[in-house]
Chain A
């Protein structure tokens, strides 16, 4: 046992050996992670909102067309939500290649990120809409509001806290996904931690990557929580 202690000590000190850290690479990787996260969050937000709306509207409508559309969308949403992210990336490689002409770099991570998170967010949006008071919708209809007005003036504003907290949760898991995508070659902090930190045995780089990712996550959580608190007047 005595021989193990010095080893542990050296591991510990390795984590804080910042001389091995290339700060330029860290900065580059952080920018890539932020780039992937913000673009995917923005796309997931709009796509998820649309899908969620589609799910909600087709489900309460009792025409045959709506029912079929609902079944199809719900099926696809469930499929994409269930595929483990790491497999989805690999699965989508041919698609990404056709779409972007390459399979590495931050852009190449986007299709998989969006495909996996949008269905998840769509479900959150749908359940948010379902929580909107039916009576308020009826009140709007009694004033002569059209379907579109009911969506934009009642459903969205009345479920906004759910929409915001939903995108916060989604954004946080997207940060995690970008790290995974990074390992496969999309760049970013996950890539840095794996290539520079693990493969070159520089634990300090891994530690730095971890800390930066935590900071990003906490920032997103803080912005989300503050936003919800500000708008929620219930």
Chain B
């Protein structure tokens, strides 16, 4: 369990003071995948580096499994870091070492015997699926392969925590998915707590259990991923969620305007549904019960690590009272309904 209490981090130089983090209080549970999302400069990187003591807080405490980092000597912090793996956006592999040697690197630092080093490194190469590449140099690998080496290297000392610093930001969408699946597998099979920072909401949605949204050094929203996705409260969160929905706003706006001309008596409604409600024949039922016509404008489904979340944008056509009734009926289902545009 990782507890951050009253954390502040201020950088001072000749030009002045810069508050990178302002009062962070947070608990990350053992075995969970916790995501920090925010735009660059929000303080995510600093926060991540507080957890392995690469940065020390100006105020407040970082406690990992009841051990307070600031109480430890430099040597003890280094020892502690061996149980916290870290992966990076640009992989940060040593070009001078082969895949096998890169993975053995943290084991050398932990003074593991050569025999054990090789054995462990080979196991990890197997785990990340790079068995045929153990003697390749990083320059001969693709981005996804490099990140797999990075992950294997981070796992070498059997860490209890894995820190991920934008680990998928330099990868293409498909490779990102592969790396995320690997992280999920590691979390499940090895029971490693994963703390990741990202600016891609998609990453959070796909693998995180809980998320904290950061903006200018503060956590502005925090909670289970599904809740945050369904009901984003803070403006920054809303922007992230919207960005992830990938609804092409301009295109939809055009479609809505067109339909409004064609059917001026229609309401534009967005329906958000999740999990079991995906299976309900909501549209047909509402249409049948109230006698309205329903035009489907746009629909999408996204999967989070536990359930699917869907979005449907429809146009409800009919007389005013019928439309009113239809809306009420929609709201009686376990879905979220938002009227985007009222009929003229």
Interface residues of A (CB under 8 A from B): 133, 135-136, 138-146, 149, 153-154, 157-158, 160, 231, 233-234
Docked CA distance A63–B340 (Å): 60
Q: Check if B207 is an interface residue, CB within 8 A of chain A.
A: no
Q: In the assembly, what is the distance between CA of A231 and CA of B96, in Å?
A: 8
Q: State A142–B90 Cα separation when bound (angstroms).
A: 15
Instruction: Report the minimum CB–CB distance from A133 to chain B (whole Å).
Output: 7
Residues of B within 8 A of A143 (CB): 81-82, 86, 105-106, 109-110, 157
Binary contact track B45-59/A, C-beta < 8 Å → 1, others 0: 000000010100000
Q: Complex formed: what's the CA distance from A136 to B52 in Å?
A: 16
Given contacts A138-B88, A144-B80, A233-B137, 5 further A-B contacts (CB under 8 A): A142-B54, A143-B106, A144-B79, A153-B105, A154-B94
A153-B105, A233-B139 known; A144-B95 Cβ under 8 A: no
Contact B109 A145 (CB under 8 A): yes
Contact present for A233 and B109 (CB under 8 Å) = no
* Chain B min CB distance to A128 (Å): 13
Q: Please, could you name 19 A-B residue pairs with CB atoms under 8 Å apart, sorted by A?
A: A135-B90, A139-B92, A140-B105, A141-B54, A141-B81, A142-B54, A142-B163, A144-B82, A144-B110, A145-B78, A149-B109, A153-B105, A154-B94, A157-B97, A158-B94, A233-B96, A233-B139, A234-B95, A234-B139
CB distance from B84 to the nearest CB of A (A): 7
Closest 8 CB pairs of A and B: A144-B81, A139-B92, A135-B92, A144-B78, A143-B106, A142-B86, A233-B137, A144-B82
Docked Cα-Cα span, A5 to B137, in Å, equals 63
- B105→A136 contact, CB < 8 A: no
Q: Once the chains are docked, how many angstroms separate the CA of A140 from the CA of B52?
A: 12
Q: How far is the CA of A150 from the CA of B105 in the complex (A)?
A: 11
Contacts of A136 in B (CB 8 A): 92-94
The chain B residues found within 8 Å of chain A, CB to CB, are 52, 54, 78-82, 84, 86, 88, 90, 92-97, 105-106, 108-110, 137-139, 153, 157, 163
Q: Is A142 touching B137 in the complex (CB atoms < 8 A)?
A: no
A139 in contact with B86 (CB, 8 Å): yes
Contact B96 A158, beta carbon cutoff 8 Å = yes
Cα A104 to Cα B313 with chains together (Å): 94
> Smallest distance from the beta carbon of A118 to chain B beta carbons, Å?
25
Q: State in angstroms the CA–CA spacing of A154 and B88 once bound together.
A: 17
Nearest-neighbor residue (CB-CB) of B74 within chain A:
A146
Collect the chain A residues with CB atoms within 8 Å of residue B84's CB: 142
Q: CA separation between A136 and B90, bound complex, in Å?
A: 9
**Complex contact B78–A146 (CB within 8 A):** yes
Given contacts A143-B105, A144-B78, are A138 and B93 in contact (CB under 8 A)?
A: no
Most A CB within 10 A of own CB, among B81, B92, B157: B92
B265 shortest CB reach to chain A, Å: 59
- Bound Cα distance A143, B156 (Å): 10
Give chain B nearest CB distance to A150 CB in angstroms: 10
Give the CA-CA distance A136 to B150 in the complex, in Å: 11
Q: How far is the CB of A61 from chain B (nearest CB, A)?
A: 15
CB distance from B154 to the nearest CB of A (A): 8
- Rounded to whole Å, the gap between the CB of A8 and the closest CB of chain B is 56
Interface centre among A133, A136, A149, A154 (most CB of B within 10 A): A136
- Specify which chain A residues have a CB less than 8 angstroms from the CB of B94 in the assembled complex: 136, 154, 157-158
User: Are the C-beta atoms of B88 and A139 separated by less than 8 Å?
Assistant: yes
State A143–B105 Cα separation when bound (angstroms).
Answer: 9
**B residues in contact with A154, CB < 8 Å:** 94
B12 to chain A, nearest CB (A): 12
What separation, in Å, do the CA atoms of A142 and B81 have in the docked complex? Answer: 6
Q: A145, A146, A160: which has the most chain B beta carbons within 10 Å? A: A145
* A233 touching B52, Cβ below 8 Å: no
- Least CB distance from B251 to A in Å reads 39
**CB-CB under 8 A for A160 and B96, given A142-B86, A143-B106, A144-B82:** yes
- Chain B residues contacting A133 (CB-CB under 8 Å) are 92
Q: Cβ of B54: which chain A residues have Cβ within 8 Å of it?
A: 138, 141-142
How far apart are the CA atoms of A231 and B109 in the complex, in Å? 23
CA distance A142 to B94 in the complex (A): 14
- Return B163 CB to nearest CB of chain A, in Å: 8
Minimum CB distance partner of B79 in chain A: A144
Supposing A139-B86, A158-B95 touch, asked if A153 and B108 sit within 8 A by C-beta, the answer is yes
Q: Is the CB of B52 within 8 A of A142?
A: yes
Question: Which residues of the other chain, B, contact A139 by a CB distance below 8 angstroms?
Answer: 86, 88, 92-93, 153
Closest Cβ of chain B to A49, distance in Å, is 17
In Å, the complex CA distance between A158 and B94 comes to: 7
How far is A160 from B137 in the complex, measured between Cα atoms in Å?
Answer: 16
Residues on A with beta carbons closer than 8 Å to the beta carbon of B92 = 133, 135-136, 138-139
In the bound complex, residues from chain A placing their C-beta under 8 Å from that of B139 are 233-234
Q: How far is the CA of A157 from the CA of B181 in the complex (A)?
A: 33
Name the residue of chain B whose CB is nearest to the CB of A145: B109
Q: Which residues of A contact B96 (CB under 8 A)?
A: 157-158, 160, 231, 233
B83 smallest CB distance to A (angstroms): 9
Bound together, the chains give a CA A149 to CA B75 distance in angstroms of 13
Query: Across the interface, which residues of B come within 8 angstroms of A146, CB to CB?
Result: 78
* Of listed A138, A141, A142, A153, residue having the most chain B CB within 10 A: A142
Q: How far does the Cβ of B253 sit from chain A's closest Cβ, in whole Å?
A: 42
| Chain A: CB-nearest residue to B78 | A144
